[in-house]
Amino acid sequence: MPYKANLAALKEIGVEYVIGTCIVGSLKKEIAPGSLVIPDQFVNLTWGRDDHSEADGGSFIHLPMGEPYCGHLRKKITEQSVATQTAIIPQGTVAVIQGPRFSTAAESRWLSVNGWDIVNMTQYPECYFARELGLCYAAIAAVTDYDVGLQESLVIDPRQMGKVLEIFRGNVQKTKDFLLAFIQRAPGLSCGCASTLLKAYYEEGL
């Protein structure tokens, strides 16, 4: 996935904030398939990805990532979910695995034992590239199934794929409807948190 190119193009045309969408599996019984989650943390378990930006002319940028997602944007999304009566889980940690294969049951149980909430293959490095470009970033994660380690009835399995795909299609429509309403009704979305961090990096030589 061309994370770097996509975000660079958005920055080039004047975009100030990005709401990413992604498909995830649940690592907790209480996060049921069909749920929408607004992540506030990620754990990167990937390797070998093109995750170095040239934004600083070739050197590494040591930007703070303690709070990787824009808190202001996440708050606006949560507020809009109340206004539109869209059920949303307002926080969660997403474990980002390498892919393209799914986890083994043992790997999945390990992710759950660590207390992480959802699992996905695409949230890194997109979230980080947005920070390097000074773009406020949040994500809406749509849950399609329980990850295999939970041994629930609805997991990625050939016998369950019809139901998983049904939930997937429902999530896509739900997310589209929510984002359309969100864009139309929510003013003042960009708080400038990412651009402020980027400015401080260059001014202080971090």
What is the H or E stretch that residue 10 is in?
helix 3-12
The reply to whether 177 belongs to the active site is: no
Q: Which of 40, 51, 117, 145 is catalytic?
A: 145
Q: Which of 50, 51, 117, 147 is catalytic?
A: 147
The reply to whether 147 belongs to the active site is: yes
Closest CA to 123 of 148, 93, 151: 93
Strand, coil or helix: 93: strand
Provide the CA 145 distance to its chain's centre, in angstroms.
16
Residues for the chain: how many in total?
206
Q: At which residue do the structure tokens 């997937």 appear?
A: 168
Report how far residue 88's alpha carbon sits from residue 81's, in angstroms, rounded to the nearest whole number: 7
Active site residues: 145, 147
